[in-house]
């Protein structure tokens, strides 16, 4: 079950503003519980590499009609029953009021620990921060939900308090071999599985034509996922193309890193590029294997490698390994590159370091004269996701997004993974 984070507090303290800031507005479809008179909003939130639900509850209103108040209270109680983390929001511009103290008392009486978000601190007001510690919160965060100030730190603390994610164990890093027919996929597979001590066991696959083999290399276990070649599509109606693409998609979605094999004697074809796009569209790590180098005359190798590099500029962040699978040359270099890509995709860049490197450049070169660049933060890994906050998101076009991604790429590389960017206000 996905853990839930519940936001509680009296009316008009900014609970819904914080809710919208956390979920990013258009993250997912809003869910509503059936049969509830006053609905509570539920949306998923992704932060770092964790997913959790954020629940926005109605404000506690003691002076409302009793029936309405009972319904609000009932919804809060339902939400609190399964809450992994509780956030109580108060208004920093008014200070503590009796209703805040009453809500905190109710939480403590239920045995619920909670984080305290002191909101609206973008409005200048002198207040004694220690007064809010009277509520008995585990930690206190000074935020301005309207502008996002302090929300990143709050989300970091939320993730640290979530229960451990349930991970279904899979043996080793999963590699998929993809490519057109006759580019040498089977030969590459046989080389990987034909080494001494190579095959450990055979695992039946989850899809129709896919099997998984396990091999060891340099003391580590790998899974290799094999599938049929993807043929060129002369007519979309042909079943063979439908199933080959379907198998490829299944394989990609079940792998960590895709090894896309091309024929070095032909160079990257249109179909090779389609296969590469299938991988990048699904946010998997990518290594390109140019096979059959033994068939290239020595005097043409420089020209061929230059041609292949030029044709693959659209994924110039992916390692390119030249192999002769028939003779075993370069095969294990591809595995080493896959391992390097996987580790590269797990890299996290702190918001402080981003401010010191990328953000200053973006603020000097905003997307539009009146569009202010506010912050840049990394929100996820594999692939690396970044959130760019600007004052006018509609001013950030695709060209500027590419500019931001290129700055990140040049600074931090993230070898083998596409960099994703989300623009918010």
pLDDT of residue 165: 76
Do 143 and 178 belong to one domain? no
Q: Is residue 286 part of a domain?
A: yes
Do 221 and 361 belong to one domain? no
Q: Is 183 annotated as a binding residue?
A: yes
- As given in the structure block, the two tokens for residue 15 are 């609970």
Do 340 and 355 belong to one domain? no
pLDDT of residue 138: 93
Query: Across the beta sheet with 320-322, what order do the strands follow?
Result: 202-204, 211-217, 220-226, 173-179, 257-263, 285-291, 320-322
Which structural domain, as residue segments, surrounds residue 129? 4-161
Nearest to 290 by CA among 298, 194, 311: 311
Do 341 and 355 belong to one domain? no
Q: Is residue 166 part of a domain?
A: no
Q: Which of 116-120, 198-202, 243-247, 387-391 has the lowest average pLDDT?
A: 198-202
Over residues 61-115, the pLDDT tens digits come to 555 565 666 666 777 787 888 799 999 999 988 889 999 999 999 899 889 999 9
Report yes or no: 268 and 290 within 8 Å, Cβ to Cβ: no
Domain boundary among 311, 345, 379: 345
Do 248 and 307 belong to one domain? yes
Q: Classify 391 as helix, strand or coil.
A: coil
**Angle 156-377-359 (CA atoms, 0-180°, nearest 5)?**
145
d(CA 251, CA 258): 9
CATH code for position 307:
3.40.50.300
d(CA 255, CA 224): 9
Nearest to 319 by CA among 300, 295, 297, 343: 343
Do 189 and 334 belong to one domain? yes
Q: Is 56 annotated as a binding residue?
A: yes
Q: Is 20 annotated as a binding residue?
A: no
Prediction pTM value? 0.65
Do 375 and 268 belong to one domain? no
Q: What is the DSSP letter of 393?
A: G
Q: What is the DSSP letter of 140?
A: E
Q: Is residue 313 part of a domain?
A: yes
Domain boundary among 345, 377, 392: 345
d(CA 239, CA 399): 38
Q: Is 76 annotated as a binding residue?
A: no
Alpha helices in 82-170, H assignment, sequence order = 98-109, 151-161
| Average pLDDT value for residue range 218-237 | 68
Do 303 and 368 belong to one domain? no
pLDDT of residue 60: 66
Do 221 and 319 belong to one domain? yes
Q: Is 172 annotated as a binding residue?
A: no
pLDDT above 50 (res 369): yes
Q: Classify 80 as helix, strand or coil.
A: helix
pLDDT above 80 (res 230): no
How many CA atoms are closer than 13 Å to the CA of 208, on its beta-carbon side? 8
Q: Is 371 annotated as a binding residue?
A: no
Give the chain's domain count: 3
Q: Is 410 annotated as a binding residue?
A: no
pLDDT of residue 64: 55
Over residues 109-164, the pLDDT tens digits come to 889 999 999 998 876 556 667 789 889 999 999 999 988 999 999 999 999 999 98
Number of H helices, E strands in the chain: 12, 16
Q: Is residue 282 part of a domain?
A: yes
Q: Is 294 annotated as a binding residue?
A: yes
Alpha helices in 287-330, H assignment, sequence order = 301-311
pLDDT band at 11 (very low <50, low <70, confident <90, very high): confident
Q: Is 179 annotated as a binding residue?
A: yes
pLDDT of residue 31: 33
Q: Is 98 annotated as a binding residue?
A: no
Do 47 and 150 belong to one domain? yes
Strands 373-380 and 385-390, sheet pairing: antiparallel
CATH code for position 384:
3.30.300.20
Q: Is residue 118 part of a domain?
A: yes
Nearest to 107 by CA among 90, 88, 91: 88
- As given in the structure block, the two tokens for residue 126 are 């002198």
Q: Is 226 annotated as a binding residue?
A: yes
Q: Is 122 annotated as a binding residue?
A: yes
| Average pLDDT value for residue range 300-317 | 96
Q: Is residue 260 part of a domain?
A: yes
Q: Is 251 annotated as a binding residue?
A: no
Nearest to 334 by CA among 272, 262, 389, 398: 262
Q: Is 302 annotated as a binding residue?
A: no
Report yes or no: 96 and 132 within 8 Å, Cβ to Cβ: yes
Q: Is 25 annotated as a binding residue?
A: no
Q: Classify 101 as helix, strand or coil.
A: helix
d(CA 237, CA 243): 11
Ramachandran area for residue 394 (φ above 0: left; ψ -120 to 50: alpha; else beta): alpha
d(CA 260, CA 121): 51
Q: Is 50 annotated as a binding residue?
A: no
pLDDT of residue 30: 29
Do 259 and 314 belong to one domain? yes
pLDDT band at 227 (very low <50, low <70, confident <90, very high): low
Domain boundary among 313, 345, 377: 345
Q: Is 121 annotated as a binding residue?
A: yes
Q: Is 58 annotated as a binding residue?
A: yes
Q: Is 184 annotated as a binding residue?
A: yes
Q: Is 11 annotated as a binding residue?
A: yes
CB atoms within 10 A of CB 249: 17
| Average pLDDT value for residue range 291-310 | 95
Do 272 and 341 belong to one domain? yes
d(CA 9, CA 16): 10
Angstrom distances, CA of residue 371 to CA of 103, 362, 391, 408: 40, 11, 6, 20
Q: Is 228 annotated as a binding residue?
A: yes
Q: Which helix (H) or strand (E) holds 281?
A: helix 270-281
Nearest to 287 by CA among 403, 172, 177, 199: 177
């Amino acid at each position: 079950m996905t853990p839930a984070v519940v936001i509680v507090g009296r009316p008009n303290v900014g609970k819904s503003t914080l809710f919208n800031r956390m979920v990013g507005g258009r993250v997912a479809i809003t869910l509503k519980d059936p049969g509830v008179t006053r609905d509570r909003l539920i949306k998923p939130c992704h932060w770092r590499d964790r997913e959790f639900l954020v629940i926005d509850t109605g404000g506690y209103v003691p002076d409302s009609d009793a029936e309405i108040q009972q319904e609000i209270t009932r919804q809060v109680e339902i939400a609190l029953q399964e809450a992994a983390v509780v956030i109580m929001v108060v208004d920093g511009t008014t200070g503590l009021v009796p209703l805040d103290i009453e809500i905190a008392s109710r939480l403590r009486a239920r045995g619920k620990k909670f984080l305290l978000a002191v909101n609206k601190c973008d409005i200048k007001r002198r207040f004694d921060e220690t007064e809010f510690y009277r509520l008995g919160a585990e930690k206190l965060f000074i935020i301005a939900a309207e502008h996002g100030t302090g929300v990143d730190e709050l989300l970091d603390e939320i993730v640290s308090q979530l229960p451990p994610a349930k991970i279904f164990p899979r043996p080793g890093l999963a590699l998929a071999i993809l490519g057109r027919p006759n580019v040498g996929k089977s030969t590459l597979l046989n080389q990987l599985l034909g080494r001494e001590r190579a095959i450990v066991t055979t695992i039946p696959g989850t899809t129709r034509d896919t099997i998984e083999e396990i091999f060891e290399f340099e003391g580590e276990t790998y899974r290799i996922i094999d599938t049929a070649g993807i043929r060129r599509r002369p007519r979309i109606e042909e079943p063979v193309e439908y199933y080959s693409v379907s198998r490829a998609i299944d394989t990609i979605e079940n792998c960590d890193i895709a090894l896309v094999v091309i024929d070095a004697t032909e160079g990257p074809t249109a179909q090779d590029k389609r296969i590469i796009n299938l991988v990048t569209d699904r946010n998997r790590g990518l290594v390109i294997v140019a096979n059959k180098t033994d068939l290239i005359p020595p005097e043409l190798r420089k020209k061929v490698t230059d041609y292949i590099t030029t044709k693959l500029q659209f994924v110039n962040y992916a390692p390119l390994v030249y192999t002769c699978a028939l003779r075993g040359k370069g095969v294990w270099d591809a595995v080493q590159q896959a391992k390097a890509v996987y580790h590269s995709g797990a890299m996290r860049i702190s918001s402080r370091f981003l401010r010191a490197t990328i953000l200053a450049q973006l603020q000097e070169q905003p997307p539009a004269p009146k569009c202010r660049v506010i912050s840049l933060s990394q929100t996820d890994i594999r692939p690396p996701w970044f959130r760019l906050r600007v004052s006018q998101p509609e001013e950030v076009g695709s060209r500027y997004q590419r500019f931001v991604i290129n700055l990140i790429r040049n600074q931090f590389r993230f070898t083998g993974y596409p960099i994703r960017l989300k623009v918010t206000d």
